[in-house]
């Protein structure tokens, strides 16, 4: 877990690209860090940028519904994005 926290810290401090200038917050990931299921999206949208949690907008509601259908919830999976900062206008 120490390495996990180090990686999170590096992402929170990252200023290596222009997205760092326009983001509200870094959206690292959420859920069980030792989960057997990892769900990865492309990048955070406005809701995610504001809250710092991936998949909290409409896509997140759909994800939660789909997880419920198969008997899972966010406490049993880990969700993240490949890009940790919101692209301008979600592009």
Q: How much is the pLDDT for 88?
A: 85
Total domains in the fold of the chain: 1
CA distances from 30 to 9, 49, 74, 89, 91 (A): 14, 13, 8, 23, 22
Please report which helix (H) or strand (E) contains residue 40, including its range. Answer: strand 38-41
C-alpha 84/C-alpha 9 separation (Å) is 12
Looking at residue 91, what is its pLDDT?
Answer: 61
User: CB 19: neighbour CB atoms within 10 A?
Assistant: 18
Which CATH number characterizes residue 74's domain? 3.40.470.10
Q: For 6-56, what is each residue's pLDDT tens digit? A: 999 999 999 999 999 999 999 999 999 999 999 999 999 999 999 999 999
The pTM (predicted TM-score) of the whole model is 0.86
What range does the domain containing 81 cover? 2-90
| Confidence tier at 60 by pLDDT (50, 70, 90) | very high
CA atoms of 56 and 29, how far apart (whole Å): 11
């Amino acid at each position: 877990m120490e390495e996990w926290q180090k990686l999170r810290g590096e992402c929170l401090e990252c200023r290596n690209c222009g997205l760092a200038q326009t983001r509200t917050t870094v959206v690292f990931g959420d859920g069980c860090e030792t989960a057997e299921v990892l769900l990865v999206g492309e990048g955070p949208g406005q809701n995610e940028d504001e809250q710092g949690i991936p998949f909290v907008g409409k896509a997140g509601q759909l994800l939660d519904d789909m997880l419920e259908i198969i008997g899972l919830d966010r406490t049993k999976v880990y969700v993240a994005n490949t890009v940790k900062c919101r692209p301008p206008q979600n592009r």
